[in-house]
Amino acid sequence: MKKINQLEKDIYTLSELVEISEDDESLRTELNKDIEDILDKMDNSDISLFLSGKHDASNCIMNIHSGAGGTEACDWVSMLFRMYSMWAEKNNFKVEIMDFQTGDETGYKSITFMVKGRFAYGYLRRENGVHRLVRISPFDSNKRRHTSFASVIAMPEISGDIDIQINPDDLRIDTFRSSGAGGQHVNKTDSAIRITHIPTNIVVSCQNERSQFKNKSMAMKILRSRLYQLEEEKNKKKMDEISGEKKKIEWGSQIRSYVLHPYKMVKDHRTNIVKKDMAATAVLDGEIDDFIEAALKMNI
């Protein structure tokens, strides 16, 4: 509200100056610059109004998981990871890989990573859902068109002051050898951790750190976020039943299509925003701000 109040004061002051500047050309030129500055501030404040959720200021834990399609789907996961990484870099966020499962030939069957920075979750929380790719497969010698799917889950990093009860007796903890090419230490020790939460059958893992302790700590962090998100969805479902709403769970529905053949087009099915030709190519290079902002403004 402080930003809004300050904008109101600036607009009021500017309106008074406009009234007395009719006969002063140099003053009017200066005021035009001030008006442009205020319009820019209004655009930025417009987005910030939608970043007031309980965990919007938190870091974001993201998981991208391949759908059916084998090698093609695994490559699609790696393309999405690259897209979000480039978006993060352009917006001064940091990306830290937490866990991954490589594909048999290329890409990832799944990858979990954290986008670190203020409001990372607020911006990315509407990316939950199924992302669809249509293209001529580079892995098909017959050059046929393939359709691939990947699911994206965005979760807030849950801070220690949020009470998430986890009974140690409900956990099964397994160690395994890291699957990636991470140096001699990673390849020769069982430092990776997999935690199964038995009551919910949620499985999380972490293999990015060199020590078993750090991987366990990171895996528990992911588990806390998953359990918190599960509880939030239960509460939302109860409210929908009470209000009679029959909305689909966000990450169970297709939200965006990326078509690279026979034309180039990226379409968000929730906001109907479309990017074509070179703009569509730019989306896969991290230019997704228009999709993010539109989804936030529509509160979907």
Query: What are the residue ranges spanned by the domains of the chain?
Result: 2-48, 60-161+247-298, 168-243
Question: Which of 63-72, 120-129, 209-218, 233-242 shows the highest mean pLDDT?
Answer: 120-129
Number of alpha carbons in the 13 Å side-chain half-sphere of residue 256:
26
This model's pTM is above 0.85: no
Please indicate whether residue 228 or residue 108 has the higher confidence score (pLDDT).
Answer: 108
pLDDT digits (tens, 9 = 90+) for 102-146: 998 999 999 999 999 999 999 999 999 999 999 998 888 788 899
Please indicate whether residue 47 or residue 296 has the higher confidence score (pLDDT).
Answer: 296
User: What integer pLDDT is reported at residue 159 of this predicted model?
Assistant: 73
From the list 244, 190, 192, the residue with the least C-alpha distance to 218 is 192
> Contact, 255 vs 267, CB < 8 A?
no
Q: Indicate if the pLDDT at residue 240 is higher than 70.
A: no
DSSP-based three-state secondary structure for 99? strand
Split at pLDDT 50, 70, 90, the class of 185 is: very low
Please say whether the dihedral angle defined by the alpha carbons of residues 13, 19, 23 and 26, taken in this order, is positive or negative: positive
Split at pLDDT 50, 70, 90, the class of 4 is: very low
Q: How many CB atoms lie within 10 A of CB 142?
A: 6
Query: In the CATH scheme, what is the code of domain 168-243?
Result: 3.30.160.20
Split at pLDDT 50, 70, 90, the class of 52 is: confident
If you classify domain 60-161+247-298 with CATH, what class do you get? Answer: alpha beta
